[in-house]
Amino acid sequence: MKSRVTSQQVAEHAGVSRTTVSFILNNVPGVKFPQETKDRVFQAAQHLGYVPDDAARTLASGQTQTLGLVICHAEHLKVDAFISHVLYSLNETSRQHGFRLLTESVEDVTQPDAYTGLVHAKKIDGLVVVNPRSDDTQLPKLIEQGFPIVLIGSLRHPQEYSINHVGSTRKAVEHLVSLGHERIAHLTFAPPEHYTGASNRLTGFRKALESAHLPFDDDLVAYGNYSAESGYAAMKGLLKRHKPTAIFCGNDTIAVGALAAIHEKGLQVPQDIAVVGVDDIPMAAFTIPPLTTVKTHALEQGRLAGEMLFSLIRSQAPQVAQVRLEAELVVRKSCGASLLVKR
């Protein structure tokens, strides 16, 4: 199990030097070899089954051709689909650029070396961080040092490069308000302190209520994590104590749990309670009833993060440092907005 073929052997086989092999196989710009020489080298490489040793190449060139994906709340991978989508599209994007993807899930992000080791060991050329935590002390340093990093989410750091969706909360609440709802509950992530996305959403929720001249009622806010289970539990509590006419869920997975709790209680969606989610995961179209939600374009976020990161790696400043993707209301049946909606 050893690919004992070195560029030296290819060079000998082709009757040229290692430099020539390196230049030809790497297609170094600005160096012209006769087609005949090129062919000899290509054939020799092919014939011998030559594959450049990655470590040697990296050591010599200083480039790893590898991206890191840091997942700050790894357990979300188990319960929610958002991160899988980001992973998928980032993987595709990386491949298109000839890069590989190193996935790093993080338990305790406050601990130094959580993932900075990747950077300092020069194992990656750039980093995408999903849902960065505000109590992460290493990340700001890395950003300030100019290491290529793109966040999916935000640290509210002036120098950060990031991808975020905007308008999801506003659109969800506006939709509910437009349908006449006045007692709108909110089921979001806890604890929100360290997770920028969640506190954003809560703030946005208050603002949206305000815009609609609706009072904010603390009792109508419940917390879960990203899972259906937490949505179920939180919704159960909410139904026991209060009687909202609508519920805005922090993500679709939570909404699935809420739907289950509502159904179990013998209530009807949307007749008794309207439900809105966030993300538009593939399953959202197949809940009972189909879930009205706000699409956050997870795949697109992953792709954009990748493209932005490649700009950074090539030392090209991206046109926009902080991309905001407008979220998109997807009306299905869980709010009763219309009986003629797409699945």
Partner DNA sequence: TTGAAAGCGCTAACAA
Partner DNA sequence: TTGTTAGCGCTTTCAA
64 and 125 in contact (C-beta within 8 Å)?
yes
Contact in structure between 253 and 81 (CB atoms under 8 Å): yes
The CA distance from 108 to 135, in Å, is 10
Please say which residue, 31 or 56, places its beta carbon nearer to a copy of itself: 56
User: Judged by CB, which is closer to a copy of itself: 167, or 257?
Assistant: 257
321 binds, among a copy of itself, DNA, none (CB under 5 to 8 A by kind): none
Residue 323: phi, psi to the nearest 5?
-80, 135
Instruction: Rule CB under 7 A: say whether 1 interacts with DNA.
Output: no
Q: In 3-state terms, what secondary structure has residue 199?
A: helix
CA distances to 63, 72, 127, 280 from 334, rounded to whole Å, are 50, 31, 38, 13
Does 22 help bind a copy of itself (rule: CB under 8 A)? no
CA distance 177 to 181: 5
Position 22 contacts DNA (CB under 7 A): yes
Residue from the set 13, 44, 50, 228 that interacts with DNA by CB under 7 A? 50
70 and 130 Cβ atoms separated by less than 8 Å = yes
DSSP letters along 267-307, please? --TTTT-EEEEEE--GGGGGSSSPPEEEE--HHHHHHHHHH
Nearer to a copy of itself, 37 or 105 (CB): 105
Q: Does 1 bind a copy of itself (CB under 8 A)?
A: yes
Query: In terms of CB distance, is 58 or 199 closer to a copy of itself?
Result: 58
Point out which residues bind a copy of itself (CB under 8 A). 1, 3, 49, 51-56, 58-59, 64, 66, 69, 74-75, 77-79, 81, 83-85, 87-88, 91-92, 95, 100-105, 117-118, 120-123, 145-147, 227-229, 231-232, 253, 256-257, 259-260, 263, 282-283, 285-288, 290, 299, 343
Point out which residues bind DNA (CB under 7 A). 4, 6-8, 15-20, 22-23, 25-26, 28, 31-34, 37, 50, 52-53, 56-57, 59-62
